[in-house]
Structure 1
Amino acid sequence: MALTSTERPNALLRGGPQDISAQPEYRYVEESTEKLKVFQGNYYDHYEPTAENEVREGRAHRVYVWTGRTYVAE
């Protein structure tokens, strides 16, 4: 699932290693029921949707939890 930044955020990415978990990240995703793969330079962080929603600025955001990291092969 690709992530874009041209739409208003509708998802909250939560959890992961210390380098990414310090600050929750809000993003827009096209379909909020699929797993996400976020490219971060030389690796991907993987997230799965939960049944939880969090309201921010009057809008519901589907909560995704971090499930792992995979590195790009050279």
Structure 2
Amino acid sequence: MDMDRIEEATRSLDPTDPESMRTILSGDLFTPQLTEDQEVTLRRLETLLALVEGLGGRRLRTAPATCLPHPR
């Protein structure tokens, strides 16, 4: 979270105006922002997961052929 943005938003908050509080809370103020390193790591994890999923699918398709007898 960007603490500077939160601090600035609380400074501009009018305690007598409930709408200003609603506006601050309905925005993306408390949404975490990914760093560049986190985005790179996320892409690598997504790629790894796709590879594992593909390998698992291939194993599931080929395993019965190696374990079950073929009709003659």
**TM-score (structure 2 length as normaliser):** 0.22
Which is richer in strand? 1
Which is richer in helix? 2
Structure with bigger gyration radius: 2
**TM-score (structure 1 length as normaliser):** 0.22
The structure, 1 or 2, with the larger RCO (C-alpha pairs under 8 Å, 6+ apart) is 1
